[in-house]
């Protein structure tokens, strides 16, 4: 894309935003970028035409290899809108999460790990989240140290989310997660793995703040939309999920 077309696109987007005062958010997760895998270049240019911001909900790489992050970073050059995101469990797999993080940050992605960022009047609070299960069947801190460590990690991520939400000054807040905060949007996955797909602790925190929308990924075979017990809309935007756009990304207006 030339600088002139880019500027034109930017002007048109600003006009569209002025028209209805809303930010058009494209959200997508679970790209699982591999060496010699599919390219996302065309998809990112398409998204730049239809949205004002791209939100990425983790599992951006398949095995967390720096080479995979570099491939994604190269594809992201065709994205001309601001990018915000969180990492997923796959981005940790190889033990190079710091390198993966710095490659994606250098590519322009504002990676959130318990922070918030405000873009055009919308506050994005992001954290990866963790497993632990839902509702009455949530894993409790009891028994072996390994179980307690797992629950502690889940609580820790929830506290990071709370800190992020406290930083939001805007009236319009979106929560960006990798793991699911409610059971509704993991439905479609085998029931036996629900406890590994997310935790209700995240929803408990979300419901203490005026959150307009929540996006997450991780449950590739889950369900597109649901609500927290407090009524915040939740969208599973894993690229595999069928969405109203008919595309791998969801389009939300906030
Ligand atoms: Fe995934
Ligand atoms: Fe995942």
Q: Which CATH class is domain 3-253?
A: alpha beta
Beta strands in the chain (DSSP E): 24-28, 53-57, 83-86, 109-111, 115-119, 122-126, 172-176, 213-216, 225-227, 233-236, 250-253
pTM of the model: 0.93
What residue ranges do the domains of the chain occupy? 3-253
DSSP string computed for 201-215? HHHHHHTTS--SEEE
Between the CA of 4 and the centroid of ligand 1 the distance, in Å, is 37
Between the CA of 91 and the centroid of ligand 1 the distance, in Å, is 9
> Which ligand is closest in space to the CA of residue 128?
2
pLDDT tens digit string along 175-228? 999 999 999 999 999 999 999 999 999 999 999 999 999 999 999 999 999 999
pLDDT tens digit string along 11-61? 555 555 545 789 999 999 999 999 999 999 999 999 999 999 999 999 999
């Amino acid at each position: 894309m030339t600088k002139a077309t880019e500027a034109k696109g930017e002007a048109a987007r600003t006009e569209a935003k002025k028209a209805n005062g809303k930010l058009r958010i494209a959200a997508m997760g679970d790209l699982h970028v591999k060496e010699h895998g599919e390219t996302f270049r065309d998809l990112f240019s398409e998204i730049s035409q239809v949205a004002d911001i791209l939100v990425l909900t983790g599992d951006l790489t398949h095995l967390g290899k720096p080479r995979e992050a570099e491939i994604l970073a190269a594809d992201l050059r065709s994205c001309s809108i601001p990018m915000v995101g969180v990492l997923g469990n796959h981005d940790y797999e190889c033990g190079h999460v710091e390198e993966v993080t710095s490659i994606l940050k250098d590519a322009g992605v504002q990676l959130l790990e318990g922070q918030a960022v405000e873009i055009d009047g919308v506050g994005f609070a992001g954290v990866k989240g963790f497993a632990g299960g839902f509702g009455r069947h949530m894993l409790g801190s009891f028994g072996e140290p390994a179980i307690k460590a797992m629950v502690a990690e889940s609580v820790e991520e929830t506290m990071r989310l709370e800190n992020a939400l406290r930083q939001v000054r805007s009236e319009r807040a979106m929560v960006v997660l990798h793991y699911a905060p409610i059971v509704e949007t993991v439905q479609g996955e085998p029931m036996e793995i629900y406890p590994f797909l997310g935790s209700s602790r995240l929803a408990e925190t979300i419901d203490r703040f005026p959150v307009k929308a929540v996006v997450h990924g991780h449950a590739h075979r889950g369900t597109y939309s649901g609500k927290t017990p407090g009524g915040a809309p939740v969208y599973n935007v894993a690229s595999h999920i069928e969405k109203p756009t008919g595309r791998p990304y969801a389009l939300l207006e906030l």
